[in-house]
Chain A
Amino acid sequence: MTVAGSKIPVAPVPMAEGDSMAEHEFGPLTRTHIVRYAGASGDFNPVHHDEEFAKEAGLPGVFGIGMMHAGILGQRLAAWVGPENVRSFSLRFTGQVWPGDVLTFRGVVTGVESAESADPVARIDLTVTRQGGGCVLTAAATARVAPAGDVPAGDR
């Protein structure tokens, strides 16, 4: 069996202000998606899988686990810049996610620090939104990127 080649980069890739991550959609979110992440992560807070517990707590029902869509966003970021080039990843949950939601993941480079240096770092803003546009998560990341006008090492 041959393994399809991954396009996920190892070395830092060239990036410039305004570059954007390929937009990604997930959903509609099902209770099975939530439980699958609960099992993978070990997050068994019953508000995410026990409908009776959630309703007794005054909720309309179970809701999505924030770290699941945060994790999907982080994985998309890592696939874009290279998993070993992520320097920092900070996120704030701004809303809840419910079964039936379709989530959209976006990211854009807002600037590159030390662009002329040997070790430039891109600043990236990211969001997760629900259908209809409501934002449920905002994030900021930094990532090592290739020096501007990078040329093969042998040509320097």
Chain B
Amino acid sequence: MVDTGIVGRELGTVRFPVERSKLAELARSFGSTDPLWSDHDAAAEAGFDDIPVPPTVTVLADLWREHGALDGAVRLGLDLARLLHGEASWTMLRPIRCGDELTARSSVLDVAERVGNRGESMTLVTIETGFTNQHGDSVATRRDVVIETAGPTGKEQS
């Protein structure tokens, strides 16, 4: 169980360079073979100013180094073995492109207790992250709901 007193707590700031090699790794992990996602020439030929990014790219910012989101979850008292990612939602404000340097600032927006289907207690923590680029422009906001379940994740499915 997580202390509800964490609402409003700042979870820190992370800077993340949106680099071509990272975008290439990500595209490969998605099984994509389209060179647009990692090749300057392909992006230029398709009419883009620079290599575009997939909508979930900001996830990389909070996981790519120590003190990222997983560490943040542990520091909030959440148990990784019982943790599920429940929801994520992005609002895109400006295009993010290869070469940008993002700054991500996260804070706890809400903590709620909920009773699951089998009467077990779950804790839902909503985290909001704002992303700005190297020009100081807001490029995206994201809200994540992480769920600490009562028991091991995935017990009901095999």
Contact = CB atoms under 8 A, between A and B. Distances in A.
A75 B56 CA distance: 8
A17 to B, nearest CB: 22
Contacts of A42: 60, 63-65, 68
A78 interface: yes
A63 B154 contact: yes
Contacts of A90: 87-90
A interface, by DSSP: helix, strand, loop or mixed? mixed
B2 interface: no
Contact of B46 (A10, A36, A68): A10
Contacts of A96: 153-154, 157
Interface size class on chain B is: 35 or more
B152 A58 contact: yes
B45 A70 contact: no
Interface string B82-119: 11111111111001000000000000000000000000
Contacts of A4: 35, 42
A79 B55 CA distance: 10
Nearest to A42: B63
B54 A93 contact: no
Interface of B: 22, 25-32, 34-37, 39, 41-43, 45-48, 52-56, 59-60, 63-65, 68, 70, 80-92, 95, 151-155, 157-158
